[in-house]
Structure 1
Amino acid sequence: MDTDVLVVGAGPTGLTLANELRLAGVPAVLVDKLPQRSTLSKAGGVQSRTQEAFDQRGLLEPLLATGKYPDGTAHFAGLTLPLTRGRHRHPWRSIPQVVIEGFLEEYLAAQGIRVRRDHELTGLTQDGNGVTATFADGGVLRSRYLVAADGGRSTVRSLLGAEFPGRPGTVTTVAADVRLGGDVQAMTHARSDDGHWAAVFPLGTDPEGRPLRRLSLGGPGRSLPREVPVTEAEVREGLRAVFGSRVELLELRYARRITNAARQAARYRHGRVFLAGDAAHVHLPIGAQGMNTGIQDALNLGWKLGAAVHGWAPAHLLDTYHTERHPVAAAVLRNVQAQSLLMDQESTGHPDLAAARDLFADLARLRAVQDHLDDMLSGMGIRYPVPGAEGQPLVGLPAPDLQLGPIRSHELLRRGRGVLIDPAGRFAEVAARWPDRVDRAGQGADAEPMLIRPDGYVCWAGHPDDLEPALGHWFGAPR
């Protein structure tokens, strides 16, 4: 083997996965077909759960130190959810994808892991022992496992012939990075009487400290083929159709056309090859969910691949990647499609849609509805189907952040290992049988005992007799 894991694609998903494998002590190679990193902002919002995961790896504070990234209020279909502010430790925050990619790539380089650029994958085969990848320059690389993080038009997925069912795009809309002047709020969704619409969201600031915004435009007659370039005149005209003279375009950084295609791979695992991020699921970019879902795919898969490489993974462990993450992305596709309908992205102007949106707006003023939507959009409501979750409110959910004497529980996850919170010191003998995989902490703290997986999810809490089976289920046979 040339390496244990080959990661194809150096976007946020692939970079996060490379770091997870580094924490697990697994040699990995990260390749990308681009000769240099993209300068396009692409995604722009970071969920609470993603920020929490970065914090659990010690990455959030240095990431936020790279610039000024405003926090904001969650929204669903353009309707703000102000009552949810402060519910989670980390608020929704605007951090462009290009910033996250640059930060992670530089961080990995400092750890000795560099992206091998200009490596275009052209073929792959696999057998019972590993995967053989070939590249456009004639190079060949052999690995135990391969992970496709190479985007919505994934070469790996194509080479596998993997099923990618769903809906093709029916319309295109314009997505642009801009500086705007005039009367425009930090976050808004506006529509004209004749069906033209615009959505504006913050993207932080440029090096001169001037606010940047992500602008989306659509309306009757504006759905053009993806390959047609977006012109500055088109963007000005779209703004004028919605805002009149109240908002003006100061600078157009870049613009592209996106579709409302919604597809998801039928299977995330194909033998020794795994699909993650946009290679596994694509949808209209609404609500800052695509990049976040991909990053969280990587967090779920990384420690499990590490366990397999080190030889202690239970037989079922790698399969739990699909069983846990496939339903998460399926739910994302559903809520994005619902938002697209309520926002009338296709500009049908149908009066029934307007009535449905008005009714939904009334419902969205209720605290319970806002909380439900916030849990869904923030990633904090994700609950994996963990054995033993019945009757246990914490099991399967992201672990709470606890004060354990001089340290907080999220800091204990920075080693990329499991953590057993044992306030009464009752489980030292049991935990001692998994010393290379699980750390024990929290003695004397005012907390409930719980077992936390390396990706930050609770996998046991409750009856002491269930702890040892849980350890075996997630961390394999004792040493």
Structure 2
Amino acid sequence: MDTDVLVVGAGPTGLTLANELRVAGVPVVLADKLSQRSTLSKAGGVQSRTQEAFDQRGLLEPLLADGNHPVGTAHFAGITLPLTRDRHAQPWRSIPQVVIEEFLERHLAAHDIHVRRDHELTGLAQHEDGVTATFASGEVVRSRYLVAADGGRSTVRSLLGAEFPGRPGTMTSVAADVRLGGAGQAMTHARSEDGHWVSVFPLGTDTRGRPLRRLALGGPGRSLPRDVPVTEEEIREGLRVVFGSRVELLELRYARRITNAARQAARYRHGRVFLAGDAAHVHLPIGAQGMNTGIQDALNLGWKLGAAVRGWAPEHLLDTYHAERHPVGAAVLRNVQAQSLLMDQQGTGDPDLAAAKGLFAALAELREVQYHLDDVLSGMGIRYPMPGSDDQPLVGLPAPDQHLGPVRSHELLRCGRGLLIDPADRFGEVAGRWRDRVDRVGQGTDAEPMLIRPDGYVCWAGDPDGLRAALGHWFGSRNLL
């Protein structure tokens, strides 16, 4: 083999996965068909759960120190959810995708992992013990596993002939990174009486300290083919229709047309090939959910591939990637489709739809509704199906960050190993059998006893009789040495 894992695609998903494999001590090759990193910010915000995961790898603090990334307020279909702003330790922040990609690529390069650019995949063949990938240059790379992180028009998915069911796009709208005059600082979703609409979200500032905005607009007659270039005049006209002369375009950084296509791969695993990020699921970009979901795909898959390469993964472990992440992707598609409908992005002006939006907006003033929507949008409400989750409320959820003497439990996950918090010092003998892959800490603290997977999810809590089974289920056969 030339490497243990070949990752095709160096967007946020592929870069995150490469880092997870690095943490696991697994050789990885990261290839991308682009000659240089994209300057397109396809997403503009980072969810609470994604930030927690970055914190668990020691990446959050340097990422936030890398620029001005203001805290924002979550929204659902343009309806703000102010009661959720301080609900989590890491609130929603505006961090453009281009910033995340640059940061992760520099981080990997500092650990001698460099993106192989101008590598366009043209062929793929699976064997009993690995995968052979052929690139346009004629280069051949053999690996034990291959991960497709190459976007919504994934070459890997096409070469696999993988099923990608769902709905094709029925309309397009414009997405752009801009500087605006008169837009204010807050998120805005406004529409004209004839159905034209504009959404504006803060993106922090540029290198000269000037505010940047993510802008989206659409409405009747604005659904043009994706390959039609977006012009400055088109954006100026869209702003005039909705805002009059109150808001003006000062600078256009980039613009593209996006569709409301909604598709999801039927299977995320195809033998030794895995689909992640937009290669596994595509939808209308709303709330940066696509980028965050892709990063979470990578976090879920990375440690499992690491365990398989290093030889201690239980037989079922790689299959849990699809079992855990496919329902999450399906849920994202559903909530995005609901938001798109309520926002009337096609500009139909349907009075029945307006009535439904009004009723929903009234319901969204309730604390319980805001909290539910926040669970959906922040990633903090994801609960993976796991043994023991029916009896223990923590099992399957992201692990809380507990103080264990001078350190936090999130800090102890930075090595990419499992973590057993054992405050009463009861489980030393049992856990010792897995000491090569699970750390045990917490004696003398008042922390909650729990077993945490390398991706930061609780896989056992409370019941002493279930610990041995949980260790075997997630961390393989015990080490008898």
- TM-score by length of structure 2 reads 0.99
Q: CA deviation at 1:391?
A: 2.2
1:346 deviation in Å? Answer: 1.1
- Specify the alignment match of 2:248 in structure 1: 248
What secondary structure is seen at the aligned counterpart in 1 of 2:318?
Answer: helix
Alignment of 1:192-203 (within 5 A): 192-203=192-203
Write the deviation string for residues 237-285 of structure 1: whole angstroms up to 9, x where unpaired: 0000000111111111111100000000000000000000000000000
Which residue does the alignment assign to 1:175? 175
Aligned counterparts, 1:416-455, within 5 A: 416-455=416-455
Shift of 1:185: 4.3
The residue number in structure 2 matching 1:372 is 372
Q: Which amino acid aligns with 2:440?
A: R
Please give the alpha-carbon distance, in whole angstroms, between the structure 1 residues aligned to 2:104 and 2:463: 40
Do residues 286 (structure 1) and 290 (structure 2) align?
Answer: no
Distance in 1, Cα, partners of 2:268 & 2:184: 42
Contact 2:165-2:266 within 8 A present in 1 as well: yes
Q: Counterpart of 2:150?
A: 150
Q: Match of 1:54?
A: 54
Report the alpha carbon displacement of residue 348 of structure 1 after superposing the two structures with TM. 1.0
Q: Is the 8 A contact 1:258 1:284 kept in 2?
A: yes
- State how far apart, in whole Å, the 1-side matches of 2:72 and 2:59 are: 20
Amino acid of the residue matched to residue 473 of structure 2?
H
Matches of 2:183 and 2:88, distance apart in 1: 31
Q: Which residue of 2 aligns with 1:89?
A: 89
**Deviation of residue 62 (structure 1)?**
0.4
Tell me the amino acid that sits aligned with residue 118 of structure 1.
D
User: Distance in 1 between the 2:67 and 2:85 partners?
Assistant: 22
Deviations 1:122-150 (A, max 9, x none): 00000110000000000101000000000
- CA deviations 1:62-88 (Å, max 9, x no partner) are 011110000111000000000112110
Equivalent residue letter for 2:99: V
One-letter identity of the residue aligned with 2:187 = M
| Structure-1 residue corresponding to 2:314 | 314
2:6: which partner in 1?
6
Report the Cα distance in structure 2 between the residues aligned to 1:207 and 1:374, rounded to whole angstroms. Answer: 32
Q: In structure 2, the residue corresponding to 1:317 is in which secondary structure?
A: coil
> How far did 1:401 drift?
0.7
Q: Which amino acid aligns with 2:317?
A: L
Aligned to 1:160: 160
Paired letter, 1:393: P
Match of residue 400 from structure 2:
400
Q: What's the counterpart of residue 34 of structure 2? A: 34
Secondary structure of residue in 2 paired with 1:339: helix
The answer to whether residue 234 in structure 2 is matched with residue 211 in structure 1 is no
Distance 1:283 1:237 in 2: 26
Mapping for residues 10-159 of structure 1, pairs under 5 Å: 10-159=10-159
Kept in 2, the 8 Å contact 1:263–1:282? The answer is yes
Q: 1:34 to 1:262 in 2, by over 3 A?
A: same
Give the residue type in structure 1 aligned to 2:113.
Answer: I
- Any idea what the Cα deviations from partners look like across 1:278-316, whole Å, max 9, x if unmatched? 000000001220000000000000000011001110010
Q: AA paired with 2:131?
A: V
Within 2, Cα distance between the matches of 1:436 and 1:345? 53
Q: Distance in 1 between matches of 2:273 and 2:356?
A: 43
Q: What is the distance in 2 between the residues matched to 1:65 and 1:84?
A: 24
Unaligned runs of 5+ in 1: none
Q: Per the alignment, in what secondary structure is the counterpart of residue 215 of structure 1?
A: strand
Match of 1:411 in 2: 411
Deviation of the 1:183 alpha carbon: 4.5
Partner of 2:224: 224
Shift of 1:447: 1.4
Question: How far 1:184 sits from its partner (Å)?
Answer: 3.6
What SS does the corresponding residue of 1:66 show, helix, strand or coil? coil
Aligned equivalents of 1:165 and 1:390: distance in 2?
32
Return the letter of the residue paired with 2:425.
Answer: G
Between the aligned partners of 1:389 and 1:283, the Cα distance in structure 2 is 30
Any idea what SS the aligned residue of 2:176 has?
strand
Residue 275 of structure 2 aligns with which residue?
275
In structure 2, C-alpha distance between the alignment counterparts of 1:62 and 1:184, rounded to whole Å: 28
How many residues align? The count is 479
What TM-score comes out, normalization by structure 1 length?
0.99
Matched residues in 2 for 1:254 and 1:84: separation? 31
The one-letter code sitting in structure 2 at the alignment partner of 1:41 is: S
Deviations 1:157-201 (A, max 9, x none): 000000000000000000011100014442010011111000000
After TM superposition, what 4+ stretches of structure 1 lie above 4 angstroms from structure 2?
Answer: none
Alignment of 1:374-389 (within 5 A): 374-389=374-389
Residue equivalent to 1:359:
359
Question: What CA distance in whole angstroms lies between the structure 2 residues aligned with 1:116 and 1:19?
Answer: 15
- State the distance in 2 between where 1:337 and 1:185 align: 27
What CA distance in whole angstroms lies between the structure 1 residues aligned with 2:4 and 2:378? 33
Q: Report the Cα distance in structure 2 between the residues aligned to 1:62 and 1:135, rounded to whole angstroms.
A: 35
Secondary structure of the corresponding residue to residue 415 of structure 1: coil
**Letter of the 2:208 counterpart:** E
CA distance in 2, matches of 1:442, 1:278: 39
Whether the 8 Å CA contact 1:184–1:247 is kept in 2: the answer is no
Query: 1:33, 1:120 within 8 Å by CA — same for their partners in 2?
Result: yes
Q: Which amino acid aligns with 1:94?
A: S
Change (3 A) 1:19 1:183: closer
Aligned AA (2:433): R
Checking the alignment, whether the CA contact within 8 Å between 2:9 and 2:151 is kept in structure 1 is yes
What code does the residue aligned with 1:425 have? D
Cα distance in 2 for partners of 1:319, 1:455 equals 16
One-letter identity of the residue aligned with 1:157: R
> What corresponds to 2:471 in structure 1?
471
State how far apart, in whole Å, the 1-side matches of 2:256 and 2:390 are: 47
**Contact preservation (8 Å) 2:45, 2:94:** yes
One-letter code aligned to 2:331:
A
Aligned to 2:260: 260
Contact conserved, 2:14 with 2:298, CA < 8 A, in 1?
yes
Partner SS for 2:410 = helix
Please list the CA deviations of residues 222-247 of structure 1 after superposition, one character each: whole Å capped at 9, or x if unmatched.
00001111110000000000001111
In structure 2, distance between residues paired with 1:198 and 1:106: 35
